[in-house]
Every structure is written in C-alpha cells, then in structure tokens.
Amino acid sequence: MSAYNESVKRASAALLLAAALSTAQEPGQHLIQRVAGGFRYADGVAFETTGSLLVADPPEDRILRLQPGKPVSVARRPSGGAAGLAFDSKQRLVICETQARRVVRIEERGSLTVLASQFEGKPLNGPNDLAIRSNGHIYFTDPAFGSALEQRQLPFHGVFHLSPKGALEAVFRSETRPTGIALSPDERTLYVAFADEHLVRAFDVSRSGAVSNPRVLIHRTSGIPLGLRTGRDASLLIAAGEFLEIHSPKGTLVQKIRISDRTANLAVHPRTGDIYVAARSAVYLVAPGERAAPEP
C-alpha cells in the first residue's frame, strides 16, 4: 500500500485515503487509484520539492497537504478561495485566489506578495489557473464563474501575462471563459482551455515572454475542459468532464481515460510522470498499469 494510503489511515474521518481501484478505459494500460477523499471541490494541485502534494479546496477556503507517511494537513487557511497552484523556479508557491480576485505569491519566509489584483483600474474577475515559465513569466486565466459573473467589472474574460517586473497585460480577451492553462516543455507554446466552447487554443510564446498567434488546437473535448497540463513527452493532458484526455502536441486525441467523478484539475509528478487528477470530492492517481502503487 502506498505511503499516501498509510498516512491517511491516521488522518481524520473527514479526509480519508482509500485504496479502491477502478478499471481504466483500456484495461491494462493504466491504474486508476483513489488516493484522497473528503474534499468539497478538489481543484488546483501542485507538487512541493519534498514530494508532498498540495490540493486546493476553494469552497472550504483551504489548501491541503498530502504528505507521504504523515496525516493529511492544512497547508493554508484561509486561502482566498485558492484554485490554481504552481511553483516558480525559486520554489515559491503562486496561488490564484479566486474569491479574493487576485494572484499572490508565498515568499520563502512565509509572507504574502500580491502580484496582480487589478487591470486597467478594475478588479480581476477571479483568477482560475496559472502556468509559470522558468524565467519568471506568469500566465493566468481570469474567467468569471458563479457570483463573479454578476460582480465583474472587466468587459471580458481574460488570459493574462505577468512579467517578472510586474507588468500585466491581457494577451487574449474572450467572450467565453478560459480555465486551464499550461506551457509546453520547451516553453514556446501556451495552451489554454475554454470551458464554454469545449476547446483548447494554442499561442506562440517568444523569448521575451510575449504571446501571439492564437489558434484553435483542439476543437472539441468530451466534457467541459477545466484543468490542463503538459506531460513530459509534450502531450496535452486535459481534465474534461468525467475523462482525462490525452492529446498529442498537434491536438490529436490519443486516449480517453474515464475517472469516476467530474474532473477539475491535474498535476504531473516531476519524477515519475504519473498524473494526479483532482475530481471534485477526491484525488486520483493515474499511472501505467504495470505499477501496483504510486512511488513514494
């Protein structure tokens, strides 16, 4: 049994890890293992250098830590309704605080820096997800969901670029809502999922961080695309409805893996390449079928 499962046996009943296995869409190719449950809405996920997994739970206004060999713990509360999570090259956690309508960074000593909260003098809609380039450029989506739709002051749903010097620009202004966002491994292409259109757009990224040439790469996903990441082989991984979709860098659908809940976000383990999928009330591991359990 995995270290995650061992750890949550000691955790509270409200947040238990389970060892229940389900069958992949194509038997023998993937193991799907439920590794954590008890969330109201599991969303953003990111790995710390220690191997711990951070999971945002926006309705509970918290970020939880799943740490091998230890009980599940609260990493941050309140969290501003944290959704998207990512670490920069200095291993500082950057958070999309959807309810607080801002993007923040947790500094090395624990203090908080607000990176973006307004554009052209108006509050952001509700930053949802982000991708960080190795040289410090941050890209994030800013849709308006739920009550934010009635309160929004910006006349568009945006994809934003935040330079290391703090300059904020809207690189794509949309009538539909962007959600998941990711960079290609070579950092030359930016991918953005759009929930209302059920599609993914690609953008070119220059050495300076500038974004150009928007085009539709994936014309239709199985369900509402929310989370988006890239694999180590440059494949596109999309949390879409009840599926984890795997596409080639050219947008061709390679595989659909059914998850037993509606998916919201995902992260790729930096060492193993395994995929961890946040799916509303739980987090699932998706690993090659020959592996009986995730590596610690």
% of the chain residues with pLDDT over 70: 88
pLDDT per residue as tens digits for the range 179-191: 999 999 999 999 9
Close Cβ partners of 123 (under 8 Å, ≥ 6 residues apart) = 101, 117, 153, 154
Domains defined for the chain, CATH in brackets: 3-288 (2.120.10.30)
293 pLDDT more than 60: no
- What pLDDT score does 69 carry? 78
Q: Which two tokens stand for residue 210?
A: 């500038």
- What pLDDT score does 159 carry? 98
Report the DSSP beta bridge partners of residue 268: 275
pLDDT per residue as tens digits for the range 272-283: 999 999 998 999
292 pLDDT more than 90: no
Q: For 58, phi and psi rounded to 5 degrees?
A: -55, -45
- What pLDDT score does 6 carry? 34
- Residue with the bigger pLDDT between 102 and 31: it is 102
Distance separating alpha carbons of residues 225 and 202, to the nearest angstrom: 14
pTM above 0.85, yes or no: yes
- What pLDDT score does 284 carry? 96
For 68-136, the three-class secondary structure string (H helix, E strand, C coil) is CCCCCEEEECCCCCEEEEEECCCCCEEEEECCCCEEEEECCCCCEEEEECEECCEECCCCCCEEECCCC
Q: Which band of pLDDT confidence, cut at 50, 70 and 90, is reported for residue 4?
A: very low
Select from 271, 202, 291, 276 the least CA-distant residue to 244.
276
- The upper half-sphere exposure of residue 202, i.e. CA atoms within 13 Å in the direction of its Cβ, equals 15
Distance separating alpha carbons of residues 282 and 257, to the nearest angstrom: 16
Q: Is residue 17 within 8 Å of 11, Cβ to Cβ?
A: yes
Q: Are strands 30-42 and 21-23 parallel, antiparallel or unpaired?
A: antiparallel
Select from 239, 237, 246, 285 the least CA-distant residue to 263.
239
pLDDT per residue as tens digits for the range 216-246: 999 999 999 999 999 989 999 999 999 999 9
- What pLDDT score does 62 carry? 98
Q: Which band of pLDDT confidence, cut at 50, 70 and 90, is reported for residue 289?
A: low
- What pLDDT score does 148 carry? 82
How many beta carbons lie within 10 A of that of residue 273, not counting itself?
12
pLDDT per residue as tens digits for the range 116-164: 999 999 999 999 999 999 999 999 999 999 888 888 999 999 999 999 9
Mean pLDDT, the chain, rounded, equals: 88
